[in-house]
Structure formats: C-alpha cells, structure tokens
Amino acid sequence: MSTTSLLVIAILILATLGYFLASKRAISTAGGDRRKLHSLPVYYGSNAAMFTAIPALGVLLIWLLAQPMLVERNVLSTIPDKLITEGSSIGLVMSDVRRVADGLEVVVSTGTLSQNETLKLDTEQTDIRALLAGVGAAVGSDVLPEMLEVAQNYRAQTKMGQLWMVLSIAPLALIGFALSVLAAKPTFRARNTVERGILALLVLAASLAILTTICIVFSMLFESINFFKLHPWTDFFFGGSWAPNFRGDSDLSILPLLWGTIYISIIALIVAVPVGLFAAIYLSEYAGPRVRAFAKPLLEILAGIPTIVYGLFALVTVGPALVRVFGRGEEGLLGVEWMSGATAVLTAGLVMGIMLIPFVSSLSDDIINAVPQSLRDGSLGLGATPSETIRQVVLPAALPGIVGAVLLAASRAIGETMIVVLGAGAIAKFSANPLEAMTTITTRIVSQLTGDTDFASPETLVAFALGLTLFVLTLGLNVIALYIVRKYREQYD
Amino acid sequence: MNDKNIMESHMGTTAIKISARDVQVYYGDNHAIKDVSIDIEDKTVTAFIGPSGCGKSTFLRCLNRMNDTIDICKVTGSIRIDDEDIYDRRVDPVQLRAKVGMVFQKPNPFPKSIYDNVAYGPRIHGLAQNKADLDDIVERALRRGAIWNEVKDRLQSPGIGLSGGQQQRLCIARAVATEPEVLLMDEPCSALDPIATAQVEELIDELRQSFSVVIVTHSMQQAARVSQKTAFFHLGNMVEYGETGQIFTTPQDPRTESYITGRIG
C-alpha cells in the first residue's frame, strides 16, 4: 500500500477518534448534563472530525498536485543534452524518465528486488529494459546510464517529497485533533462552527461549477490561439469557403458553417416554437387535470430521448419521406426533382424542431403557469372569453419569459450535433435551398477531430476555434435569455 | 319611528335585481352553500358578512358564474337576474360577466398601460365606434372610479406602477367601463390601507347611483358604513338578511348577534 493511502486512512481514523472523544468530553465537562452544553454532543464530535480531517486532507490534495510538478521541474534541468536525440524532445525524454522511475517502484513493490538493490542498479550489469518489461512497464528504448541516473534522481526526489508530506501533514492532523478535542467544553459554540464548515462546503461546490466553465474557456482559448498563429484570422472569420485539406493549404472559414448552423436552427425553431407554445397553452389553460397528468410526462419523455436516436429518425424516416415528396422526378409525389438525397437542411431542421418541442413547451408551460390566476380572473370577470384572456392578458404577461425560452431553445439548436451529423450532410456552402445538404459548425468539429489527428496542424486546431466561437454564440444567447427570464420574474414578486 | 316607516316604504319600491332561490354549491364532496335564497335590490349596496369560510365569496362568485372556471364546483338551484335564469343553457357566461362586473380582493391590473387596462372591456365588447369614442369611455370610467385626476397625465404608463389604492380604483374603473348592471366586489379593501379604503368606500357609495353593488367584507364597520342591506352567512347558510341598521342593532338570530358582538367568527 502506498504512503499516501496509508496517510489518508490514518487521518480518517484520527478523525473518527476525534468525533467520539470530543462528544464524550463535551458531556463529561458539562457534568453529564446535556442541557448545559451550547450544542448537541453530535456537533462537538463533528467539529473535532472536521478540524482533524479537512485541513490535513486539503493540504494533502494540494501536495499531491504540486509535488510531481516541482520534482519534474527540478529533474528537467538535470537531463543531459546527450539523451535528447534527433526527432525526440525533452518532453518525450521526461516521460521515459518517469516510466523508468515508476517501473523501478513497481519492481520494489512486487518484491523482485529490494529498495537498496534498485538503488545500486547499473546499466552494465543488468538489462534494465528487460527487468522493467518483466513487471509490465514498457520502455521505448534501452536504458542508458545517464537516463538511469536521472531516473534515480527522480525517485530520490519523489521519496523525499513523500517523506516531507507525511512529516508536515501528520502533525497538522494531530494539532487539529488536539485543539478541537480540547475545545469541546460547554461554552464552545460547536453548532455555529460546524454550520460555517457546511457553508464553506456549499461555497466550494458553487465555485467548482464556475471554475470548470472558466477552465473550459481557457483550454479552448489556448488551442484557438495556436490555431490563429498558423492560420490568418481574417480568413477564418471573413473567408467564404470551407475546404480542409490535410496536406495543408486549406480554406478554413467559419461563415459557410455558420450559415448552415443558423439556417438549420431557424427551421428547427419555426417547427418547435409554434407547436411547443400551442401545446403549452393547451396544457396550462385548457387541459383538465387528467389530460395534464397524462400528457405532460409524455411530452417530457420526448425530451429524454437521446439526440442520436432523433438522428436515426432523421436518417431512416424523415429524410426518405421528404425525398418521396420533393424528389425522384416522375415517381415522386410532386413529380419534381428538387431533392436528391435524404440528408438536407430541411431534414435536420424538422427533426431538430421535433426535439425542441418538449423543451419549448415545458419551459413555456412553467412560465404561463407563473402568470397569477388573479389576472385571468380579472379578464374573465370583464366578460372576456378564455381565448381572449390568453391572447390579450396571459401571453403578453408571459411574453418575456417565452422569449427567454425560445432563446434557450435556439442555443440548444445551435449546439446540437448528432441530428445534424446524420441528417444535414457534409457539404459546406452558402445556399438558400432547404432541400440541399449543408453542414454545421458542430459536425465539422466532429469530423476534424475524428480519425488520425495531428494537434499541430491548422486543420485540426480549427476545431477549437470553431468550438470557441460556438461557445461564445450559445453563451451570449443564454445570457440574454436568462436576463430576460429573470427580469420577467421580478414583475410578480 | 315615522322616519323609519317612510324609509322602509321607499326601499320597498326598489326593483329586485337578483333573485336567488335554494342555491346549493358543492366543491367536490364539500357542501359549501346550503339553501340560500335572497333578493338583491337594484341601486342598492348589499353587504355579505360572516366569518372566514362561511361561503359568502363562493355565493358572490355564483352571481357571475365565475365558479364555472373551477372544475370541481357544482351549482344547483336558480339565480335570476332581471328575471332571467343565469344558469340556463341559453345564457353565455361570457355575456353574463359583461353585465355583472367583478372587483377582486387583490388589485389585479393587467400588465398594460392604464389606458389599455380600462379600454380592455370596451374593446372586447365593441362598445366604442372609434378612437375618440374609446377615449371618452375611458375618461368617463376613470372619473367614475375617482382616479381620473391622479392618472390623466400618465394614461400610457403601466397600471402596475400605481399604488395599491390607486390600482384597486383602476380595477373598479375597468369594471365600470363595460357598463355593467351589477358590480360584485370581493373584499375590495382587504389589501388597502385606511386612507385608500376610505376612498374606495366613498366610491362605492357613488356607484350606487347607477348599479346594484354586492360587496363581500370582513369588516363589520365597513358593511355598516357602505351598505343599505346586509346578509349574514354562517357555515354555508344565509342566517339573516335585512336592513343594515336593523342587522347591526336588533339582529333576529342569536348567531348573528354573537358574530356582531364578537363571540363567534
């Protein structure tokens, strides 16, 4: 068992011990009378466990993240130039060093050699590559003496780091343990302390979500910057053609893709907004409780279908059906030859619209229900019919919220991938004909990053620039939508 | 003594506007209104008083069929307005509600401008020939709602921006704008402060000139101040109905007396 896991177990045992000792001590210092305690004994116990475990575990976590980086930096400077051969880089050598060092640790832990024996290893006498291969650690080339030296250095530093880790964290846990157990007296406000701890936990959870978003943006941003170093940004944003060519010299412009994305999204919204809104009006204003109890979950099931299934629906049902109507010349229903293949803007747009219906209807339903009943009563009391009431009072009152719902649906449409991969085709072009195949930003990201990819070529890196643009687009839509929805909520509070 | 006789004979000549006979209301299994029969006079303010949950608001909502909007509610018996049974199959509840206006407990202006709030009813019922006509109707309604002077310079600003008392008078003006014959008021002052309440009460007294007003109230002082007739409801029954002065000074039923003197309720 490794040092780290032993340390964690020790801390947890100490924390449990602290829990029982502190709650017992609290009761005994109160002379066995619980009513004299400021908080319930449970709180004294939790407080002790919290102060024993959390600082120690927190420092441990940071240590585990920081130590490999520091060790690596120290070792990196000791790598002799001789190891860095033609076609290699310092990064590759470093990963070899790590592999050798880790392999030697495995050799020790399996008992093939003792700790001292591994330290005295010599490339002249032992075939280290074979030794490592014996325990399942594959090294790319024969281990040179310099390489072994660096690896031993790496091991020594790691060992030293681990020693310091135990030496600093164990006292930290013990201090927390001792202080919190000693603090367990009737006057100590353990309840308040524990609740502050819970508050800290909640804040941590909230900031993690935000931090993740920031990290996503940064990871995309750095790759996008790499892309713009290789490819002119003017061509990306203002060029007119998309023709990636893996031998280089590609046209990588977002505009044709953006056009496809927006075109398909608009068709999807034309389908989804009226149908979803009408469904929401029926469900919230006309449907009886029995219909509602039945229809609402049914609509929400639609929202739970994976989008790839919608994609299949587009591919095998909607596409061919559209071809039967608009294509096949004399054999088709209209006798025209407007549509040649099943993949088209209309196919993807229709199916995406169907996907968005429950999204729009469920959001709009909530918003319409939030309109106070007193407004409906007021309108009905003036002799308006239910339909007049909905058109002239309920919908205008709910309008900002509905606009917000539509914008949220739009941002989902723009980011949708699987339906367009299967339904829209792969041809990037500017065309107003909805029966032609077109492609979107998301499908191009998929195709640029699947298969053999070289993360140094603009043809691959363009995916990150596309992703970032998409992210900014949908983020902007979401921000506007949330702003509108929030503003609308204030109206009735 | 003589005065009282003269007054009574004067009141006696007033036409009966609403006549309810043996009205029963059920909310699912709950028998909310039991055997209520009442004659409500024209050009009179009639107050319904009684403890919470006694059925006075429910009965009020029967008079313009607002209970139709509640699925589980069932009304039997007969309610006749101007000798026409309002629960008859031929009566359109929507038309009925244009004739029997309603003001609610909480001011509920629509999220529209003050002008559009008042113009809402006339527009729906096509009462105005043209824009000038509509302007006229709106002004008249706002004047009758005793709020014209406060809002005449900002007719296009939203109704929600007014104070609570102004909002309630706007709602009264909105109800008046459709030229109803009966005005139902469901605790119209319960969300208002004393000053706004006084304004609304004064307004109710003026409205009596043109309408039959039925008001539900929790405040016995209010009933005494604004109404000519009072009906006392208790546990779904109408216990007593008569001249307001008589109900508050010499109630016939011991339950009425207990409520008025504060022993029940």
Question: Chain A closest CA to B239's CA: distance in Å?
Answer: 28
- Of B59, B66, B73, give the one whose Cα is nearest residue B29: B73
- Inter-chain CB proximity A392 and B111 less than 8 Å: no
- CA-to-CA distance for B20 and B115, rounded, in angstroms? 36
CB-CB contact of A428 with A439 (8 Å): yes
CB contact under 8 A, A382 and B175: yes
Chain B residues with beta carbon closer than 8 angstroms to that of A291: none
| CA dist., res. A268 & res. B200, Å (int) | 52
CB contact under 8 A, B98 and A392: no
Residue B222 within any structural domain of the chain: yes
**Is residue B80 in some structural domain?**
no
pLDDT in tens, chain A (493 residues): 577 888 999 999 999 999 999 989 988 888 888 888 888 889 999 999 999 999 999 999 999 999 888 888 888 887 777 777 666 677 777 888 888 888 888 888 777 777 777 777 777 777 777 777 777 777 767 777 788 888 888 888 888 888 999 999 999 999 999 998 888 888 888 889 999 999 999 999 999 999 998 998 898 899 899 888 888 888 888 888 888 877 767 788 888 889 989 999 999 999 999 999 999 999 988 888 888 888 888 888 888 889 899 999 998 998 888 888 887 777 777 777 787 778 888 999 999 999 999 999 988 998 898 888 889 999 998 889 999 999 999 988 888 888 888 988 998 999 888 888 888 887 888 888 888 888 888 888 888 888 766 777 888 888 889 999 999 888 898 888 888 877 766 555 4
Q: Answer yes or no: do B102 and A392 touch at CB < 8 A.
A: no
Say if B71 falls within a structural domain. Answer: no
Of B106, B124, B175, the CB nearest to A388: B124
The CATH number of residue B126's host domain is: 3.40.50.300
Find, among B27, B62, B45, the residue nearest to B212 by Cα.
B45
Angle at alpha carbon of residue A90, lines to A86 and A91, rounded to 5°: 120
Tell me the C-alpha distance between A350 and A317, whole Å.
11
- The whole-angstrom distance between A283's CA and the closest CA on chain B is 15
For chain A, first and last CA: distance in Å? Answer: 58
A381–B102: do the CB atoms touch at under 8 Å? yes
Strands B182-186 and B100-103: parallel
Q: Which residues contact A29 (CB under 8 A, 6 or more apart)?
A: A184, A185, A186
In a domain, B46, yes or no: yes
Q: Which residues of B touch A378 (CB under 8 A)?
A: 104, 108-110, 171, 174
Instruction: For residue B192, give its domain range.
Output: 42-64+95-260
Backbone phi, psi, residue B219, to 5°: -95, 115
CB-CB: which of A376, A377, A382 is closest to B121?
A382
DSSP state of B253: S
Alpha-carbon distances, residue A73 vs A84, A90, A308 (angstroms): 16, 12, 45
Which residues in chain B are closer than 8 Å to A367, comparing Cβ atoms? none
Partner-chain contact A393 B108, CB within 8 Å? no
> Do the domain assignments include residue B233?
yes
- Distance between CA atoms of A342 and A323, rounded to whole angstroms? 6
What lies within 8 Å, CB to CB, of A153 at 6+ separation is: A75, A78
Question: Which residue of A288, A289, A380 is in closest CB contact with B97?
Answer: A380
Closest CA to A158 of A64, A289, A255, A272: A64
Q: Which residues contact A402 (CB under 8 A, 6 or more apart)?
A: A277, A364, A367, A395
pLDDT tens track for A171-206: 999 999 999 888 888 888 888 999 999 999 999 999
pLDDT in tens, A384-417: 999 999 999 998 888 888 888 898 899 899 988 8
Residues of A in contact with B69 (CB under 8 A): 376-377, 380
Q: Do A374 and B108 touch (CB under 8 A)?
A: yes
The 3-state secondary structure of chain A, one letter per residue: CCHHHHHHHHHHHHHHHHHHHHHHHHHHHCCCCHHHCCCCHHHHHHHHHHHHHHHHHHHHHHHHHHHHHHHHHHHHCCCCHHHCCCCCCHHHHHHHHHHHHHHHHHHHHHCCCCHHHHHCCCCCCCCHHHHHHHCCCCCCCCCCHHHHHHHHHHHHHHHHHHHHHHHHHHHHHHHHHHHHHHHCCCCCCHHHHHHHHHHHHHHHHHHHHHHHHHHHHHHHHHHHHHHHHHCCHHHHHHCCCEECCCCCCCEECCHHHHHHHHHHHHHHHHHHHHHHHHHHHHHHHHCCHHHHHHHHHHHHHHHHCCHHHHHHHHHHHHHHHHHHHHECHHHCCCCCCCECCCCCHHHHHHHHHHHHHHHHHHHHHHHHHHCCHHHHHHHHHCCCCHHHHHHHHHHHHHHHHHHHHHHHHHHHHHHCCHHHHHHCCCCCCCCCCCCCCCCCHHHHHHHHHCCCCCCCCHHHHHHHHHHHHHHHHHHHHHHHHHHHHHHHHHCCC
Nearest-10 Cα torsion for B119, B121, B126, B131: 0
Which tokens hold the place of A276?
């979803």
CA distance B136 to chain A (A): 19
Strand partners, B100: B182
The C-alpha torsion from A427 through A430 and A434 to A440, rounded to 10°, is 50
Confirm whether the ipTM is greater than 0.95. Answer: no
Q: Which residues in chain A are closer than 8 Å to B109, comparing Cβ atoms?
A: 378
Nearest CB to B121; choose among A289, A377, A383: A383
Residue of B nearest to A390 (CA): B110
Nearest chain A CA: its distance from B102 CA (Å): 6
B-chain residues near A491 (CB < 8 A): 111, 160
Each residue of A13-52: pLDDT tens digit? Answer: 999 999 999 989 988 888 888 888 888 889 999 999 999 9
Q: How many CB pairs under 8 A join A and B?
A: 72
The Cα of A384 is separated from the nearest Cα of chain B by a number of Å equal to: 6
> Half-sphere exposure of A304 toward its Cβ, with a 13 Å CA cutoff?
6
A289: nearest CA in chain B? B71
- What structural domains and CATH numbers belong to chain A? 3-188 (no CATH), 236-490 (1.10.3720.10)
Q: Are B215 and B224 in contact (CB under 8 A)?
A: no
Chain B interface, Cβ < 8 Å to A: 64, 66, 69, 71, 94-99, 101-102, 104, 106, 108-112, 120-121, 124-125, 160, 171, 174-175, 178
SS3 B31: strand
Question: How many separate domains does chain B show?
Answer: 1
Residue B227 lies in a domain: yes
Query: Does pLDDT of B247 surpass 60?
Result: yes
Neighboring chain B residues of A385 at a CB cutoff of 8 Å: 94
Is residue B6 domain-resident? Answer: no
According to DSSP, the residues that pair with B85 across neighbouring strands are B80
Q: Rounded distance, CA A189 to CA A37, Å?
A: 9
Can you tell me the distance from the alpha carbon of B106 to that of B97, in angstroms, rounded to the nearest whole number? 19
- Which chain A residues are closer than 8 Å to B98 by Cβ? 382-383
DSSP B1: -
Residue B47 lies in a domain: yes
User: B171 contacts in A (CB within 8 Å)?
Assistant: 378
Residue B92: count of CB within 10 angstroms of its CB: 11
